Amino acid sequence: MSQPNHTWVTEFLFLGLSDDPQTQLLLFLLFLVIYLVTAFGNLLLIILVVTDSKLQMPMYIFLCNLSVADFCFSTSIVPQALVHMMTKRKIISFMGCAAQLFLFLIFGCAGCALLSVMSYDRYLAIRDPMHYPLIMTKKVCFQLALSCWVSGVLVSIVDTTFTLQVPYQGDNKIAHFFCEAPALLALGSGDTHRAETVIFLMGVIILLLPVSLILISYGSIIVTVIRMKTTSGRLKAFSTCGSHLIAVTIFYVSAIMTYMTPKSSKEQGKLVSIFYAVIVPMLNPLIYNLRNKEVKRAFRNTIMKGQPCKL
């Protein structure tokens, strides 16, 4: 059979979240506030960990890496979405779309891996506090953090390559507000089964395996916490674990719904993606960082250093 006589797509047109001008204005303000909070919270922790020697411990090194991933993750999507919300034609070039897809996947997948490593770190700290410093040395910490970034790059290369190998001819309207693999594959002119299969398998590696490790780790933590003798320690541990699990649940459930469910359930994909691509990067610094006493202490010390000396 002959190929359809369509020209190759050189740019994509986003349909966005809404066509109504007033709704777009409200979404612009909402996304702007969320992005500013995301940037402030994550950049603050990065600066505090880098400048405060007392925060240069495994837990905070992982948190710092997560903040880098969250900030870059959000920055690869939200600023462009903000611009498009205030313009009539929401256009991106093919290469620009490919770059956004590649970067989005790197930081998103690295964040997935970091969340699982952080849960394992907390498991070791609570389950075996005596041997924790011997097991989680700085060398091991940096190796684990590096492996998270390497896994993010590898998964991104695979997903991006298979997504862009599909021919795109004719229709160039993406029913989304950023370039995401499932939304792009819906426009594919050829057979997308192989690309969808590969993306599903990558999802098993970067979504299902980490979330399984997280559930096992937190399950063991809960068992350990229940055995604690002091009520105050038990309540504190449950409060911390509960807030962590809320952020993890929102991220993984929404991501799994997008990347590992049949096409028929992806009609609302752009709405679901708001949770893991926009909201979770804002929640993580609030849940993991700004509620932490050591981070608050470092922040107060930084503020006091910046104040002028009184004569």
pLDDT at 67: 93
Are 71 and 42 spatial neighbours (Cβ–Cβ below 8 Å)? Answer: yes
Are 250 and 279 spatial neighbours (Cβ–Cβ below 8 Å)? Answer: yes
Q: Does the pLDDT at position 119 exceed 70?
A: yes
Residue 233 pLDDT level (bands cut at 50, 70, 90): low
Place of tokens 């590898």: 154
pLDDT at 269: 76
Whole-prediction pTM: 0.89
Give mean pLDDT, residues 109-132.
88
pLDDT at 157: 97
> What is the percent of the chain where pLDDT is above 70?
87
Q: Does the pLDDT at position 11 exceed 70?
A: yes
pLDDT at 103: 96
Are 221 and 126 spatial neighbours (Cβ–Cβ below 8 Å)? Answer: yes
Q: Does the pLDDT at position 311 exceed 50?
A: no
Q: Does the pLDDT at position 32 exceed 90?
A: yes
Give mean pLDDT, residues 274-301.
80
Q: Which residues of 209-229 are buried (b: 16+ CB within 10 A; e: fewer)?
A: ebbebbeebbebbbeebeeee
Indicate the domain borders of the chain: 11-297
Topology at the third CATH level for domain 11-297: Rhopdopsin 7-helix transmembrane proteins (1.20.1070)
Q: In whole numbers, what is the pLDDT of the chain averaged over residues?
A: 85
For the ranges 139-143, 203-207, 236-240, which has the lowest average pLDDT? 236-240
CB atoms within 10 A of CB 100: 17
Per-residue pLDDT of 165-218, as tens digits, reads: 999 988 889 989 999 999 999 898 888 899 999 999 999 999 999 999 988 888
pLDDT at 3: 47
